[in-house]
Amino acid sequence: MVYPEPWCMPRLFTPEIAAFYEGYYSNKGIKIIKGTVATGFIYNADGEVTEVQLKDGQSLEADIVVVGVGGRPLTTLFKGQVEEDKGGIKTDAFFKTSVPDVYAVGDVATFPLKLYNDVRRVEHVDHARKSAEQAVKAIMSEGKFIDEYDYLPYFYSRAFDLSWQFYGDNVGDTVLFGNNDPKAPKPKFGTYWIKDGKVVGAFLEGGSPDENKAIAKVARVQPAVSSLMELEKEGLTFACKI
């Protein structure tokens, strides 16, 4: 695995969270090369890839290459015709754009995120589905009152026998809890994000459905914390009490 960042998924993961996954992948025999990118491929007479060239001068033997470089919202079709914001199409809480009867949902929509009094784009399947549902409700409402979209950001992923979930906002101080040793037989650990004395985000690897519900509730309720050390000691119990 080759990636340009100093650790994997730095937009969400803290270095401690990343260290667990990097360790886990390495223990499975995966070699991780950080701080560089692929610049080209070498192929044989049959057109099959044989080598990947990296920007730092290294070259890696390969017979299959998986490129996962993300994507950007495709808004060119609408340039100059709808109002844009933060790289997406600006909408209200019902996913209406600046043009009557034109709605934008999913990755391309920059919408009011009520919980944080902010406007954001969210690139995740859960929001793609829920924003589409909200737009359809608005279209079908025939002037009747419907609630504003009130989304709690939610991300998840699964790899090997691992499974993590994250809810809320990853801003402020962080507290790691549980055992993030990649060699642990059943790893279970998490992280809270704390801003202005309140827990605003929670991540959990290896949680049960009830525990994942508990961290979602914490991110929604944003309970106050007086001591980060106490929070670290309490760990998941803190979330389960809310």
The binding site for ligand FAD (CB under 6 A) comprises 68, 70-71, 74, 77, 106-107, 123-126, 128, 157
Least distance CB 202 / ligand FAD (angstroms): 18
Closest Cα to residue 216, out of 123, 125, 154? Answer: 154
Q: Shortest approach of ligand FAD to residue 178 CB, angstroms?
A: 23
Neighbours of 180 (CB within 10 A): 20
Closest to ligand FAD by CB, 132 or 225: 132
- Using alpha carbons, list the distances in angstroms from residue 139 to 56, 94, 143: 52, 9, 9
Token couple for 212? 């994942």
Amino acid at residue number 121:
R
| 67 or 229: CB nearest ligand FAD | 67
The C-alpha atoms of residue 111 and residue 126 are separated, in whole angstroms, by 15
Q: Minimal CB distance to ligand FAD: which residue? A: 106
Nearest distance from C-beta of residue 73 to ligand FAD, angstroms: 8
Using the minimum distance from each CB to ligand FAD, give the nearer residue, 26 or 157.
157
Smallest distance, ligand FAD to C-beta of residue 223, A:
27
* Rounded Cα–Cα distance for residues 165 and 28 (Å): 22
Q: CB-wise, 86 or 233, nearer to ligand FAD? A: 86
Q: Which two tokens stand for residue 107?
A: 């990755």
DSSP string, 215-242: HHHHHHH--B-S-HHHHHHHTHHHHHH-
Residue 36 near residue 22 (C-beta atoms within 8 A) = no
Q: Which is nearer to ligand FAD, 92 or 123 (CB)?
A: 123
Nearest distance in Å: CB 33, ligand FAD: 19
